[in-house]
Structure 1
Amino acid sequence: MKKRSLAALTAILVVVPLVAAAPGQRARAAESGPGDTARPAESTLVGGVDLDTVTIPELQARMDRGSLSSLRLTRAYLRRIKAVDPRINAVLRTSPTALRQAAASDLRHRLGKSRGPLDGIPVLLKDNVNTHDMPTTAGSLALAGKAPDSDADLVGRLRAAGAVILGKTNLSEWANFRAAKPTSGWSAVGGQTNNPYVLDRNPCGSSSGSAAALAASLAQVAIGTETDGSIVCPAGMNGVVGLKPSLGVVSQSGVVPISAEQDTAGPMARNVIDAALTLSVLGGRDTVRPDGAPSLTDASLTDSAGRPDGLRGKRIGLWRLPSLGAEVDALMTRTAERLTEAGAEVVEVSMPYQERLAELEFPALLSEFHRDIDAYLPTREGPQDLAELIEFNRTHPREQTCFAGQELFEQALAAPPTTDPEYRAMRAELTDLSRRSIDEVMAAHGLDAIASPANPPAWTTDCARGDNDVIPSSTPAAVAGYPSLSVPAGLVGELPVGLLLMAGDRQDAELLSLGAAVEHRLDAWRAPRYLSSTPSGTSR
């Protein structure tokens, strides 16, 4: 069978009925009722489109017709950042060249030389992704000086595709790999990012700013990064879509590291099609499909993405995770019912080897972080290795205002090197067990994907306590290097919960297609209302 790249997949996705049935056409009736006055008065309308719900294909169609320009779209997002971001503190800085980039895109559109689906589309980058023209800090004052000498590889791909690099987003400092009790969404550079749905609640992390900015419609898409949960948890907790690609699909060159064995950047968006189109740029035309892997036909993709029977015959394993609470479990039951009504077969599964994965993952990451951060720091001004970074934090009081400790840094400094036989055995076992945990369950039940809750309802942000985020659903795919995708499943009270879908190695295309069908069926997205608080019954 002829192989398909992700670029071919997304080209088909653009033309199927998913576009007409995407979030851009969803009714907002569910937003009416008490408390609506808590929503910002700033309009999301620009050029006849609603920024909350418009998709990239819809934007490109308008730009091709000349009824919308990238310049007007970029200005609208910059206005929203100025007006709305003070409530959520998601955007660290905007690019001084954003409007110039947009104007160049408009010229290409007028000349019929558009570079593809991302040409003229405003994109925010998590601030651990190198940009030569803006600081890249990982949230730390230690990197807050001179900008990197060059862009990360993925930024080069975005620029080549004509995307407008709009700015940088806040994150959990050092991607949540510094303190034993971190507070997600906090960094010394950016302060605390808030959840747009309920402002005293946490956005999860570490791609906190990217997810919160998307929920507040401050950009069309954003880039996050994940080692374990850092894309899919904030996506779920902020009611947006987040894809953690298969390891190696997106280059990590120029991204502040934790572990080369697990790190990956990935797209975050308000709908699956925008995430797919962004991945087609980030991953290139030929990196998603492995040699010999089965590919999708036009007809099967169309069925999955847009037609009413798109889920018919799909087999999905439900990993419930009752530890996330009765309300989340009830939402999973309702989700399974909705998918079953659409023709999917949902079977309950358990995931083997999880206790052993939990025992091994953290010690392995400590060794890998020491190796990888020592390789990255000499490319920047400031501390040149982990020991100097630890000393920097000890002598800068602002670094201790929320992430009071740096226990993970200290443990990594003392961890065995990655040449140590004990470490090598640990990583080999991790890779084996994590892959088997997914492969064996999918094979035993003949599954197309495994589903689980992506997150609990957002906890109250509290620096003294730290996070309440023992969320095991992301670990199997994260450690295995397999793809996982969070799509909105619904609300618990006022707080979003995502449905996490995971599949086998390099099944990114299949997972996106299934995710589009699930998104279409659940239709669970609702705009945030920026409430100051919510009753304590939904806190954790």
Structure 2
Amino acid sequence: MGFSRVGLMRAVCAPLVTLSVLTLAGPGAFAQESPETYLKRIESIDDAGPHLNAVIALDPGAAKDPDAIAAGVSAPLAGRVVLIKDNIETRDMPTTAGSLALKDNMTGRDATLVANLRKAGAIILGKTNLSEWANFRGNRSSSGWSGVGGQTHNPYAIDRSPCGSSSGSAAAVAAGFTWAAVGTETDGSITCPASVNGIVGFKPTVGMVSRKHVVPISTSQDTAGPMATSVEDAALLLTAMAGSDPADPATADADAHAIDFTRGLAQASLKGLRIGVLRRQPDPLPAVTALLDQAIADMKRAGATIVTIAYAPNAAIGDAENTVLNYEFREGIDAYLAGLPGDPPARDLAGLIAFNKAHAAQEMRWYGQETFEEALATTDREAYEKARETARRLAGAEGIDKMLKQYGVDVLIAPTTAPAWPVDPVLGDHYVGVGAGALAAVAGYPHLTVPMGQVERLPVGLSFIAGQWQDAKVLKIGAAYERARTATFARPSFRNWHE
């Protein structure tokens, strides 16, 4: 099967978009369609027109995939088109992590999760753009930019950020380029893009989905997860992806928890549930809080009891996490590069740093590689182990677990993040302190975001967080909220926000 690639850093323009695109409205707007339909939509919107740059590579012959054909029409994902984030290996397309250092990285291998999707009948149509190296390279990065794929744009406002690092996966789902997509998260890289692109994103418990042949950052926090237009579709995709894999020790217990995650979603109810609302002090963004209040009113009408929990981020978690990620990235990327087939230009982190310096005009025009250099110097094993224990304890046992037990609640909720900010390659991202997703990321616990509403036509998601292996519970509560929700939603405009 051949593949085609998108161009580098294409100019952004916004000509008239066809009526068939403009009338696609809000969450859940896209049903399953044929690969040919998706390819035409990608050609007209991603490769031309608004130039979303969400798709980094395509396999036009994907519909003839022998595994998908062998799975048959009764397979769970029979004929459903899926796009894969380009830090996850597929046998028929390069896996670049967005870096020119890996632009020719044809491993001929499927990540375990991709092999599982094929066995379930999925059609792997292509790869999605991402923040280069999953946004773990340097300071002042612009989410959704990579040296291979250029800048991904948000379908709701193409001059606004798609967030990262699973930017292309989120934008592709929102734009109707695929039935669903796979993203990866270390800290916020599924949930933030899903929120600002108006879709559902689910970061499962770390260890639910194998990381074999996925470009690593952190053994403690990395996981792949589904991105879709509904909780049900996300649950269906997760069901196909999940399971134990001897090649990934973190998944040893996955088979005991990897059920059919769609079971019971249609009957799920909020009645009788206790919902813990994480209220940040002080309130950083009143417009988002107004959406949260509307969501709370919807839940109350559906029978839930609301419990307010004053929440303030613990800086010690972030400090410890930084040490953990730097140490684990250095070890993980060295092992990954050393094990690649072929002749890549770098076989370890030091080699990547040297490559970027040699190709600074293409790779480091906008921002540097301070994170790479810091990780290279993080070698103190004792300090790493202490930081790892501290981070997991503060976020897990003394964070999420403690709040769930102390307040007697079934789940914690909070706005996922702020609305999308303007794309700014010179100064980088402009995050606003909203949400509590870092707790779930560091603890390795499940985190679901579901569209909650809009601020000035820009989507905002609602997060649902619970304890380890409570993935099915979180999905059920999210699906029940999805049905109770009364918010209205903007449509992807494929134009600049101010137009």
TM-score range, shorter chain: 0.7 to 0.9
The 1:207/1:324 distance shift into structure 2, 3 A limit, reads farther
Question: Which residue of 388, 407, 410 corresponds with 1:448?
Answer: 410
> What is the one-letter code of the residue matched to 1:145?
D
Query: Please, what TM-score do these two structures have when normalized by structure 1?
Result: 0.81
SS in 2 for 1:82: helix
Question: Which residue of 478, 481, 494 corresponds with 2:457?
Answer: 494
Matches within 5 A, 1:154-303: 154-284=113-243, 302=264
Residue 491 of structure 2 is aligned to residue 530 of structure 1 = no
Q: Is contact 1:158–1:282 with CA below 8 Å preserved after alignment?
A: yes
Gaps (5+ residues) in structure 2? 1-14, 246-250
The 1:297/1:194 distance shift into structure 2, 3 A limit, reads closer
SS in 2 for 1:408: helix
Report the CA distance between 1:374 and its aligned residue.
0.5
Q: Is contact 2:238–2:261 with CA below 8 Å preserved after alignment?
A: no
Residue 297 of structure 2 is aligned to residue 337 of structure 1 = yes
**What's the counterpart of residue 29 of structure 1?**
none
Q: Is contact 1:243–1:275 with CA below 8 Å preserved after alignment?
A: yes
> What CA distance in whole angstroms lies between the structure 1 residues aligned with 2:267 and 2:332?
42
Q: Deviations over 1:460-508 (max 9, x none)?
A: 0001110112555211111111000000000001100000110110001
Q: Deviations over 1:208-251 (max 9, x none)?
A: 00000000010001000000000000000000000000010000
Report the CA distance between 1:453 and its aligned residue.
0.8
The 1:114/1:289 distance shift into structure 2, 3 A limit, reads farther
Aligned length: 469
> What CA distance in whole angstroms lies between the structure 2 residues aligned with 1:416 and 1:51?
45
Q: Is contact 2:173–2:199 with CA below 8 Å preserved after alignment?
A: yes
- When structure 1 is superposed on structure 2, of 376-385 and 184-193 the one drifting more is 376-385
The 1:369/1:115 distance shift into structure 2, 3 A limit, reads farther
Report the CA distance between 1:351 and its aligned residue.
4.1
SS in 2 for 1:318: strand
Which has the larger helix fraction?
1
Residue 316 of structure 2 is aligned to residue 356 of structure 1 = yes
Gaps (5+ residues) in structure 1? 1-36, 60-71, 536-540
Query: Please, what TM-score do these two structures have when normalized by structure 2?
Result: 0.88
> What CA distance in whole angstroms lies between the structure 2 residues aligned with 1:464 and 1:421?
37
Residue 419 of structure 2 is aligned to residue 457 of structure 1 = yes
Report the CA distance between 1:146 and its aligned residue.
3.5
The 1:336/1:289 distance shift into structure 2, 3 A limit, reads farther
**What's the counterpart of residue 426 of structure 1?**
387
Matches within 5 A, 1:134-173: 134-173=93-132
Q: Is contact 1:115–1:161 with CA below 8 Å preserved after alignment?
A: no
Identity %: 45
> What is the one-letter code of the residue matched to 2:58?
T
Q: Is contact 1:184–1:204 with CA below 8 Å preserved after alignment?
A: yes
Q: Is contact 2:27–2:451 with CA below 8 Å preserved after alignment?
A: no
Q: Is contact 1:228–1:475 with CA below 8 Å preserved after alignment?
A: yes
